[in-house]
Structure 1
Amino acid sequence: MSPQTSTQLLTALERSGPRPALAWYGEAARIELSGHVLANWVIKSIGHLHDELALEPEETVVLDLPVHWKRLALALAAWSLGADVTILDRDRDGKQDPEHAAAGPAPRVVATDRPDSPLAADADEVLALEAVSLAPRFDGTLPALAHDWVAEVRASPDQLGVDLPAWSGPSPAVAAPLGGGAVTRLLVAGDGLTAAPEMLGALLAGGGIVGPRAAVGEDRAREEAVTGHASGA
């Protein structure tokens, strides 16, 4: 697939400026990321994966994390670098056994809130992070050589300095045009990754996503100017 998907996505996010690309109703309160801010997180994540971890196209990145906008940013960055991204399903309590969560060879990179798990122990590189929006660092004991992702990624450049390979993620769906200058605001079940084509289509169209669905009632959906529901939302 063309690398243009990555550059088009980053361009669309930047062009949306201060308009919210993501409204997240998470662990504490509503968190809003503008297009510029979400693009910045993705660019910094691309730089960290490329410069610090030397991630190459077709290498495996496993996301062993609860649904969260940080997981979304990591997935977009890894797909932009041509990686094979495995997103583990987590039950409602987040207790899925990571020892048996991913089949096949040991992954190149594991991003996880369980850096002491057997899955993480088998990985070449471990990114430790928690599904907490404002956490400045990993709040726990880090195994030797594990990366504190939030602390490290903030030091990555704000400008893209990587020649991107072919995009390895899902093909975006085409968002239906809206009249009157309105933009697509898609309600998603989690962080958008279970409906990735629709999520990508909304962002490429200059719109945004709102989630998770379970925390967004009808009144909030109206306040967020939601224009549609993603599959499964």
Structure 2
Amino acid sequence: MSTSAAPSPQTGAQLLRALERTGPRPALAWYGEAARIELSGHVLANWVIKSIGHLHDEIDLAPGDEVVLDLPAHWKRLALALASWALGAAVTVLEREAEPADGIPPGPKQPRVVITDRPDSPLADAADEVLALDAVSLAPRYSAELPPLAHDWLAEVRGSSDRLGVSLPAWSGPAAQPGAPAASDPSAPPRLLVDGDGLGALPPVLAALLGGGGIVGPAAVVTERQALEEGVTARG
């Protein structure tokens, strides 16, 4: 019988250290809108660190603040979720399949922060802060006109420091799946094939990243040959 573990308060710091140890080896392979995008451990850590810095310094995100991710599955969504949990935020990941008539899905009605590719939506209008981005890997900035006071996340986050300048509070996200391979055993690091960006199966995803491995997705578009070439060891 499986049991769920409580998340470690230090998961955010542990995750960043694990990604840095992964170094130039791939931590994420994304078969997305244009072509395969690979993020090494260093690069994924950098995206999370920059996102932490931007959310903390520019958005003033505090532990317990509500963050709604209103985005399609994408590796940028994953990086922003990891950064938000590292800052102790309460994160809601919206699924768009069944939206109510008022355009405001179940969940926080007046969230502190909405991160979205629809900055003119009713949900965004109700938020204190709106971060707009396109779920496109190589997009240099948000592609449409921004509403007043909305942030162009990609344009702003690039100016954030590459070094973590924040004392991280307790991790507020899910716990890693117990029994993951240790990061000190790099001979067969876990490499998971995941649906979407892996947020729907975060415990094994965290375990893979903490164990020096990585993820490959979205599973729906990854062929068996590509999964073999990526060295996939399990389905997340």
TM range (shorter): over 0.9
Determine if the alignment matches structure 1 residue 157 to structure 2 residue 154: no
SS at structure 2 position matched to 1:126: strand
Q: Structure 1-normalised TM-score?
A: 0.93
- Per the TM alignment, residue 217 of structure 1 is displaced from its structure 2 partner at its CA by 1.2
- Per the TM alignment, residue 90 of structure 1 is displaced from its structure 2 partner at its CA by 2.2
Map of 1:177-216 to 2, 5 A cutoff?
177=181, 181-216=187-222
- Matches of 2:87 and 2:161, distance apart in 1: 16
Single out whichever of 174-183 and 22-31 deviates more from structure 2: 174-183
- Per the TM alignment, residue 227 of structure 1 is displaced from its structure 2 partner at its CA by 0.1
- Matches of 1:166 and 1:57, distance apart in 2: 8
User: In structure 1, what residue type is equivalent to 2:143?
Assistant: D
- Per the TM alignment, residue 180 of structure 1 is displaced from its structure 2 partner at its CA by 8.5
CA contact (8 A) 1:3 1:80 kept: no
Partner residue in 2 for 1:136: 140
User: In structure 1, what residue type is equivalent to 2:52?
Assistant: I
Determine if the alignment matches structure 1 residue 35 to structure 2 residue 35: no
CA RMSD of aligned residues (A): 1.6
Question: CA-to-partner distance for each residue in 1:118-161, whole Å, 9 max, x for gaps?
Answer: 00000000000011000000000100000000000000000000
Single out whichever of 43-52 and 103-112 deviates more from structure 2: 103-112
How many residues end up aligned between the 2 structures? 227
User: In structure 2, what residue type is equivalent to 1:220?
Assistant: Q
CA contact (8 A) 1:3 1:164 kept: no
CA contact (8 A) 2:110 2:127 kept: yes
Partner residue in 2 for 1:219: 225
- Matches of 2:151 and 2:210, distance apart in 1: 31
Partner residue in 1 for 2:3: none
Determine if the alignment matches structure 1 residue 85 to structure 2 residue 88: no
- Per the TM alignment, residue 175 of structure 1 is displaced from its structure 2 partner at its CA by 5.0
SS at structure 1 position matched to 2:103: helix
> Aligned match of 1:168 in 172, 175, 187?
172
SS at structure 1 position matched to 2:212: coil
User: In structure 2, what residue type is equivalent to 1:84?
Assistant: A
CA contact (8 A) 1:175 1:184 kept: no
Q: Structure 2-normalised TM-score?
A: 0.92
- Per the TM alignment, residue 2 of structure 1 is displaced from its structure 2 partner at its CA by 4.3
Partner residue in 1 for 2:111: 107
- Matches of 1:81 and 1:133, distance apart in 2: 24
Partner residue in 1 for 2:234: 228
- Matches of 1:169 and 1:180, distance apart in 2: 25
- Matches of 1:135 and 1:161, distance apart in 2: 26
- Per the TM alignment, residue 4 of structure 1 is displaced from its structure 2 partner at its CA by 1.4
